[in-house]
Amino acid sequence: MAAPKNSISFENILLDLKNKIYSPVYFLYGEESYFIDVISETIEENVLSEIEKEFNQTIIYGKDTDIPTITSYARRFPMMSNYQVILVKEAQDLDKIEELESYILNPMESTLLVLCYKYEKVDRRKSLFKSIEKKGILFESARIYDNKIPDWIAEYVKKQNYSISTKACFLLAEFLGNDISKIVNEISKLIINIEEKQEITEDYVEKNIGISKDYNVFELQKALGKKDVLKANQIINYFAANPRENPLVKVIPLLFSYFSKILIYHHLPDKSRNNVAAALSINPFFVMDYQQAAVNFTSGKVISIISILREYDMKSKGVDSSGTSFPDGELMKELIFRILH
């Protein structure tokens, strides 16, 4: 078993597993479950043969076990195999997890103890986690920020030996949010019927997932930035006719983020393309859109729009000083009119 590595990446963990380089302890934690699932499933499916699994692979759940039980399993010797795998799912439900440190300080080299501690962060300064870093793998599966999702999609598709257009990345990100498992599942469906190295276009996404490439928040932002009243109204009328796919509570946060970035742009001393892309956390491809929007909306107007968005966010949630509730479609049309005028 190779020496442990600290701060190891997701990709390097998978590469080590592929090369049969194992650590005695894997503590996988964090808010994004996808990376935890992939690592644990890779260990579960590939470390042992099917025959070896019968005697040497144990799967237990945090709520159904305790630390003494886990350590007793971990200290066993494998039967007719070089390794045994102890997989603890939902480890965040364990009580007194700090008691695991006595085992961590002297782990069995023939055991792969895998703890899946989902949806939560841990304090890496605590003694237990410092010990795990020294003896095994302590991996944080961090949630990917919304503005990084399109780039993640592009990179993931590339690793599958395909390509995807920039607009298709944004369509998927807007429609699926930052649920990586859902994104991976939908991409898997998309690439089933296309040849390797073929590009996934926005037309292909629209046809196979049901996202409109012309009527979405991404296109609405572009229309607003250009002050294209006709296009903005066409999109908002489509939203009003399809409220389930385009609820106001989903549209407003995206517009809030968009106009907040325009405000940041106004106050940037360095408006070079690369600096704007870095400051706004956007793809350089879209810098020109923000430059144009800043021409059409002064800093003062953007501040007013952000205030209007807050007002309609409250209305969309049923909080209105008048006590009157309005359909989403009606509120959306009114909101877009106030933004544009």
Q: Is the pLDDT of residue 59 over 90?
A: yes
- Asked if residue 277 belongs to a domain, the reply is yes
200 lies in which domain range?
146-209
- Taking CB atoms within 8 Å and a gap of at least 24, the contacts of 319-323 are none
- Asked if residue 281 belongs to a domain, the reply is yes
User: Does one domain contain both 199 and 237?
Assistant: no
- Percent of the chain scoring above 90 in pLDDT: 65
User: Does one domain contain both 204 and 223?
Assistant: no
**Cβ proximity of 17 and 47 under 8 Å:** yes
User: Does one domain contain both 134 and 152?
Assistant: no
Number of domains in the chain: 3
User: Does one domain contain both 154 and 123?
Assistant: no
105-114, 168-177, 180-189 — most confident range: 105-114
- Asked if residue 5 belongs to a domain, the reply is no
Q: Is the pLDDT of residue 286 over 50?
A: yes
- Asked if residue 2 belongs to a domain, the reply is no
Query: What pLDDT, on a 0 to 100 scale, did the predictor assign at position 327?
Result: 74
Q: Which of 140, 162, 192 is the last residue of a domain?
A: 140
How far is it, in rounded angstroms, from Cα 28 to Cα 141?
A: 7
Q: Is the pLDDT of residue 140 over 60?
A: yes
- Asked if residue 62 belongs to a domain, the reply is yes
Q: Which of 209, 235, 251 is the last residue of a domain?
A: 209
- Asked if residue 1 belongs to a domain, the reply is no
Three-class secondary structure of residue 139 per DSSP = strand
User: Does one domain contain both 221 and 313?
Assistant: yes
In CATH, what number is assigned to the domain containing residue 90?
3.40.50.300
How far is it, in rounded angstroms, from Cα 249 to Cα 89?
A: 34
User: Does one domain contain both 222 and 284?
Assistant: yes
* Per-residue pLDDT tens over the stretch 77-105: 999 999 999 999 999 999 999 999 999 99
In CATH, what number is assigned to the domain containing residue 173?
1.10.8.60
Radius of gyration of the chain (CA): 25
Q: Is the pLDDT of residue 139 over 60?
A: yes
Query: What pLDDT, on a 0 to 100 scale, did the predictor assign at position 5?
Result: 45
User: Does one domain contain both 163 and 276?
Assistant: no
User: Does one domain contain both 233 and 327?
Assistant: yes
Listed residue (76, 47, 44) closest to 60, CA to CA: 44
- Asked if residue 88 belongs to a domain, the reply is yes
Q: Which of 160, 175, 209 is the last residue of a domain?
A: 209
- Asked if residue 302 belongs to a domain, the reply is yes
Query: What pLDDT, on a 0 to 100 scale, did the predictor assign at position 215?
Result: 85
Q: Is the pLDDT of residue 2 over 70?
A: no
Q: Is the pLDDT of residue 146 over 50?
A: yes
> Could you write out the DSSP letters of every residue in 232-256?
HHHHHHHHHH-TTTS-HHHHHHHHH
User: Does one domain contain both 89 and 169?
Assistant: no
User: Does one domain contain both 174 and 109?
Assistant: no
User: Does one domain contain both 115 and 204?
Assistant: no
User: Does one domain contain both 222 and 311?
Assistant: yes
113-117, 176-180, 198-202, 326-330 — most confident range: 113-117
Query: What pLDDT, on a 0 to 100 scale, did the predictor assign at position 324?
Result: 57
Of the listed ranges 58-62, 174-178, 292-296, the least confidently predicted one is: 174-178
